[in-house]
Chains A and B, each alone.
Chain A
Amino acid sequence: MEKTNDVILSIKDLKVNIRIDEGTLTAVRGVDFDIRRGETLGLVGESGCGKSLTSKAILGINDKKCKAEGEINFDADDLGWVNLLSLNPRGKEIRSVRGKQISMIFQEPMVAFSPMYTIGNQINEATLLHITKDKKKAKEISLGVMKKVGIANAEKRYDQYPHEFSGGMLQRALIAMALVCNPKLLIADEPTTALDVTIQAQILELMKELQKDFGMSILFITHDLGTVARMCDRVAVMYLGRIVETAPATEIYKNPQHPYTQGLIGSVHKIGTKAQERLFSIEGTVPLALNLPAGCGFYERCHRRIEGVCNVYDPQLVDVGGGHQIACFACTGCPNAGKEENA
């Protein structure tokens, strides 16, 4: 893809293979998406769909057993438009990107901090590494960010240990640590899943405010459609290592096209609506991405499947206008139909 000024991250045909005992499992099977400056892209899917692996591939922090292929192009400050996968995973260049220009917050703030050091100490680590070598200045910067993420009594909190923080406060501290270097892209991997609803709402609002202040882009990974609706400008729905539908957030809720997206939205009850007799549910379970049969990964569970098409050809994302792309033959028609006749 040609680089336009707007795009800061462009992923092309990303594949992540995991070596397991039974063979090679392709957990991410060719993912393409762009993230524009200042936007929030929601990556939605159920467990095992490859959303976390995708995000970790961007930072190159996947397990040793995982191997990423494809292109992850990033608009890095000093390197220009660079494919992150072509950099040495332990090299200096990727380290100047990781943590500084792209940072990440995790689902479990408790695990993300080392219990041995004070919170201030750990936030400072990033500051000292990327911004300034001056310890006094670094502390000032760290304290400033801690205040910005709404940690009251930041001076006192600076010297406290993680166990003295509650879950919500720790998540704030984690966000502070991620933002201290003013990254271009923040990857948030289920940042509120482990938190209570009221705390969750606080954190989401905080992230939105900070995005305005810092002007960063956010890749928001979650399984919770409610959170996505609150946070994101655009949504990409993943299933079995593929993006099956991507559209602006309002569009995807108003007009979901892919049967999987429809099922996902339909299976969440909306408070205030008249309770249906039964919740819409998608039959079956996600298959293991090992020795997948040809065709669409959703074929077995799909209620709109077309035999002889969906289980033969692999659907690709097709633009249907308004930034809405769908990978489904039932929605966009079968592009191979003509070919078949010729053959």
Chain B
Amino acid sequence: MAFFKKKTAKDESYYLASQWVLMWRKLQKHKLAQFSLSLLLVLYLGALFADFIAPYGLEEFSSLYKNTAPTKIYWEDENGDFSRPYVYKLKKVNDKKTWSVIITEDTSEKYYIDLFVEGGEYKLLGLIPSNLHLYGLVNEAGEVDRSVRVNIFGADSTGACIFSRILFGARVSLTIPFVSAAISFVLGILLGGISGYFGGMVDNIIQRIIEVLSAIPSIPLWMALSAAIPPGISVSAMYLYITIILSFIGWTGLARVVRGKFIALRKEDFVMAAKLAGVSDFKIIIKHLVPGFLSYLIVNLTLGIPGSILGETSMSYLGLGMKAPATSWGVLLKETEDLVSVAQCPWKMIPLVFVIITVLAYNFLGDGLRDAADPYK
């Protein structure tokens, strides 16, 4: 036919591309979002394989290493030649003048950093039992000595490795937003959809509820809600409660987006065409309206995740959320509450860097997604 010219293979794949493929292509042009996406992937993989990557488990702490700075790693031997990286173990020494106990390096023996070293037992992904860790220390004879530690980000007040705790904390801090987003997602679609579809009185009531909920300052609301959490519950129950508290606030924004999109899409000609063709209301919603705003919803969720991450972090920091020994980034930051500990142990601020990087990455990704959300414009 004369109407259709021969197209190259590249064109053809574009013509056959669905909304999601088009979105993905547009997202790939957003370099910052691409970079953020890979960064987030690394963070999540780190959380997933925390048992393996972290040299020490949550229960492994050593009073000798309390509040110690990041372990110094040496690359040169005594002659100044390059050597495989090694560390020294720590020892307590009494200061002859002040009689106070100070901790210094014991340079008598080298402990080499080695890959795939045996350590604490764990189950990889909860399935495969193993005791191999990504890195660890071996002495000159090649044997594992678990009393000597390498804390690349230093140690906290219990003497636990901060790097390990960041990884384990990521499991909570990075997944809570997801779970709460999922709950917000369901609530948002449901209530926003009802609001947009039925309109009138129902719409009015739901909108007013949203306004009231979003008018309450979040910290007092958290306090009120966490007061309702029964004391002495398990870590996993706590986790559940926190997600519910966070999603309780998160859904309002989503419901608004859904409602707005719903109303806008209902006016599109293709919806009227479907109606005139005799397609039922339910099918119109499922086939035309929901796919139409799904991409916007994902954008909004992505942009909402940093809020949840910060929410969890602040709750835990305020002591309303996770409590030690459970670990989250907020719990880790709790150690930096007083100025003295920040001044003396600045490495305790490292978890904050992770929070900032994650939040920024989500924001950049959300930004890219927003540009890609409607590939037809």
> What residues make up the interface of A, taking CB atoms closer than 8 Å to B?
21, 283-285, 287, 300-301
Contacts and interface: CB of A to CB of B under 8 A. Distances in A.
A300 B3 contact: no
A285 B29 contact: no
A283 B3 contact: yes
B9 interface: no
B2 interface: yes
Nearest to B26: A21
B29 A287 contact: no
Given A21-B29, A284-B2, A300-B2, 8 more contacts: A283-B2, A283-B3, A284-B3, A284-B5, A285-B3, A287-B5, A300-B5, A301-B2
Contacts of B2: 283-284, 300-301
Contacts of A285: 3
A302 to B, nearest CB: 11
Contacts of A284: 2-3, 5
Contacts of A300: 2, 5
B318 to A, nearest CB: 45
Nearest to B8: A291
Interface in B1-48: 2-3, 5, 29
Contacts of A21: 29
B223 to A, nearest CB: 44
A301 B5 CA distance: 11
Contacts of A283: 2-3
A283 B29 CA distance: 36
A284 B2 CA distance: 6
A284 B4 CA distance: 7
Contacts of B5: 284, 287, 300
Interface of B (DSSP majority class): loop
Interface of B: 2-3, 5, 29
A101 B179 CA distance: 63
Contacts of A301: 2
Nearest to A283: B2
11 contacts: A21-B29, A283-B2, A283-B3, A284-B2, A284-B3, A284-B5, A285-B3, A287-B5, A300-B2, A300-B5, A301-B2
A27 B86 CA distance: 64
B262 to A, nearest CB: 27
B78 to A, nearest CB: 59
Contacts of B29: 21
A301 B29 CA distance: 35
Contacts of A287: 5
A21 B2 CA distance: 27
Nearest to B10: A22
Nearest to B29: A21
A43 B2 CA distance: 28
A22 to B, nearest CB: 8
A89 B5 CA distance: 39
Nearest to B25: A21
A311 to B, nearest CB: 13
Nearest to B4: A284
Nearest to A21: B29
B33 to A, nearest CB: 16
A167 to B, nearest CB: 22
Contacts of B3: 283-285
| Pairs A-B, 10 closest by C-beta atoms | A283-B2, A284-B2, A284-B3, A287-B5, A285-B3, A300-B5, A21-B29, A283-B3, A301-B2, A300-B2
A341 to B, nearest CB: 32
A156 to B, nearest CB: 36
B147 to A, nearest CB: 59
A285 B5 CA distance: 9
B319 to A, nearest CB: 50
A126 to B, nearest CB: 33
A301 B3 CA distance: 9
A300 B6 CA distance: 11
B21 to A, nearest CB: 15
A287 B8 CA distance: 14
A300 B4 CA distance: 11
B371 to A, nearest CB: 13
A158 B336 CA distance: 64
B22 to A, nearest CB: 12
B23 to A, nearest CB: 14
B160 to A, nearest CB: 50
B1 to A, nearest CB: 9
A55 B242 CA distance: 61
Nearest to A284: B2
A180 B312 CA distance: 62
A229 B58 CA distance: 85
A279 to B, nearest CB: 17
A287 B5 CA distance: 8
A69 B347 CA distance: 58
A111 to B, nearest CB: 17
A300 B29 CA distance: 33
A21 B3 CA distance: 25
A279 B2 CA distance: 18
Nearest to A300: B5
A292 to B, nearest CB: 11
A300 B5 CA distance: 9
A287 B7 CA distance: 11
A287 B3 CA distance: 10
B85 to A, nearest CB: 46
Nearest to A22: B10
A306 B3 CA distance: 19
A147 B5 CA distance: 53
A284 B5 CA distance: 9
A18 to B, nearest CB: 16
A152 B3 CA distance: 50
A283 B3 CA distance: 7
A284 B3 CA distance: 4
A23 to B, nearest CB: 11
B240 to A, nearest CB: 45
A300 B3 CA distance: 10
A198 to B, nearest CB: 27
